[in-house]
Amino acid sequence: MTKRNILMVTPYIPRLEQSGGQRHSFFTLKYLSKTNNVTLICYSRNEDGLQEVKQYCQKVIIVKRSTTWSLSNILSTGFGIYPFLLVNYINKEFRHAIETEIKNGKFDIIHCDCLYPMANIPKTNIPTILVDVTIEYAIYQHFADSLTSWQKILRPLLMVDVLKLKYWETKYWRETDTVIMFSHEDQEFVAKVTGRKDIQIFEDAVDPEYFNLPRKTEKSKHPTVLFGCSNMKWMQNRESVDLILRDYWPQIKKRYPTSQLLIIGRNAPEIFGKYNSDSIIVAEADTNGPHNPQYYYEYSWILLAPMGSGGGTRNKFLEGMTFGLPVITNPEGGMGNIKIKNYHHAIVCPKKEILKNIYKLFDNPKYRQSMGQTASELIKNNYSFDQSVKKLNQIYDQSIKK
């Protein structure tokens, strides 16, 4: 079989970290490399993770990312046509690197992981796929709508930026050869907005190497709630942690005095470190250390992640369920592409019913263990990255033949 030649563009170096997007990109790349020749162009402030990713690529190009909150970015946003989110990723060197590879290479497909780099990809006859992890403008619109008190005065400025983001995101949805979303809800939304009938689904998954890992950690002897392992710079994750701390944790702690809350993820100490105590553990997971994501999934009793807005994928759900961890979320959090039987594989319930379901899981070990076991079986039988990437290769072939 002749391997396809893929130009993959990412707004970071794909890495085995707690960040869902970076982990997803890393595993996609890992399994793409089995049947494709991949040239990777990354936009990154450093070279962390470079050696890990090189083993799966024919060539890796890193373009140095500039400072986010620079005067030039602020002025470009205020007086330009692009929103602040995209301005951060528009870069002459980045665009030049992409143009040079397109000119000198012979690529069958351009794979853009995430909306952010799209403005740097020139018009070309090479089929271009946008893999859009979530509906970006909806997230920022939700943030603007949720402002309270004096913050409301910022809403008009933020809404201008949201409208810019909406314009460009929908424009790229319409103009790329194929758009790939991560949930059926997002797929239906984009299809409705664009009028396209060819919006695809990426079945996000777990590295099958995780399926047979030996257990490393005993369950906590005390009721333990995990939020993670996640990238805490992602707005939805911060909002979820705030919801837990405000609406659920005080009641949980009162009912179960020895309970612990684990807030685990990239940048967690920076953002939530002020809550660190004997009962609230705030930490980054050690990718290759003793306290890696597997440790927290095995140690905790449940994974709690109520969300303020929906969309996208839930890597932490997939990985937590793989290790037998019951998941509780709300309809806004949803399960992404994970097809569950509610209250059997996981729990999706309104926010007002979350506490009673936590209590039910804590007070009934057999129910908790049963849900964890069925969740693990569901993921192992249906959500493997090698199978998901086979479907991605089929999408490539459809685009190439257009």
Per-residue confidence at 151, pLDDT binned at 50, 70, 90? confident
Residue 309 in this model has a pLDDT that exceeds 80: no
What's the pLDDT band for 183 if we cut at 50, 70, 90? confident
> Above pLDDT 90, what percent of the chain?
79
334 confidence band (pLDDT: 50, 70, 90)? confident
Residue 148, pLDDT score: 86
d(CA 201, CA 183): 7
* Domain-wise residue ranges, the chain: 4-205+385-401, 208-382
Is 4-205+385-401's fold the same as 208-382's? yes
Categorize the per-residue pLDDT at 1 as very low, low, confident or very high, splitting at 50, 70 and 90: low
- 69-86 pLDDT, tens digit each: 899 999 999 999 999 999
- Of 142 and 169, the structure prediction assigns the larger pLDDT to 169
Average pLDDT in the chain = 93
Q: Stretch 209-214: mean pLDDT, rounded?
A: 92
Domain spanning 4-205+385-401: CATH 3.40.50.2000 = yes
3-state secondary structure the chain: CCCEEEEEEECCCCCCCCCHHHHHHHHHHHHHCCCEEEEEEEEECCCCCHHHHHCCCCEEEEEECCCCCCHHHHHHHHHCCCCHHHHCCCCHHHHHHHHHHHHHCCCCEEEEECCHHHHHCCCCCCCEEEECCCCHHHHHHHHHHCCCHHHHHHHHHHHHHHHHHHHHHHHHHHHCCEEEECCHHHHHHHHHHHCCCCCEECCCCECHHHHHCCCCCCCCCCCEEEEEEEECCCHHHHHHHHHHHHHHHHHHHHHCCCCEEEEEEECHHHHHHHHCCCCEEEECCCCCCCCCHHHHHHHCCEEECCCCCCCCCCHHHHHHHHCCCCEEECCCCCCCCCCCCECCCEEECCHHHHHHHHHHHHHCHHHHHHHHHHHHHHHHHHCEHHHHHHHHHHHHHHHHHC
- Alpha-carbon span 158 to 54, nearest angstrom: 39
pLDDT > 60? residue 18: no
pLDDT tier at 197, thresholds 50, 70, 90? very high
Vertex 341 angle, CA 337 and 343, to 5°: 120
pTM of the model: 0.91
The region of weakest confidence among 12-16, 111-115, 127-131, 362-366 is 12-16
How far apart, in whole angstroms, are the C-alpha atoms of residue 350 and residue 105? Answer: 51
Q: How confident is the model at residue 312 (pLDDT cuts 50, 70, 90)?
A: low
pLDDT tens digit sequence for 119-132: 999 999 999 999 99
Q: Would the pLDDT of 340 be above 70?
A: yes
- As a whole number, mean pLDDT of residues 216-233 equals 93
Rg of the chain in Å (alpha carbons): 21
Residue 26's pLDDT band (boundaries 50, 70, 90)?
A: very high
pLDDT for the residue 310: 64
How confident is the model over 288-301, as a mean pLDDT?
91
Q: Among 203-212, 307-316, 335-344, where is mean pLDDT lowest?
A: 307-316
pLDDT surpassing 70 at residue 19: no
Confidence of residue 150 (pLDDT cuts 50, 70, 90): confident
pLDDT at 345 over 90: yes
Look up the CATH superfamily of 208-382: Glycogen Phosphorylase B; (3.40.50.2000)
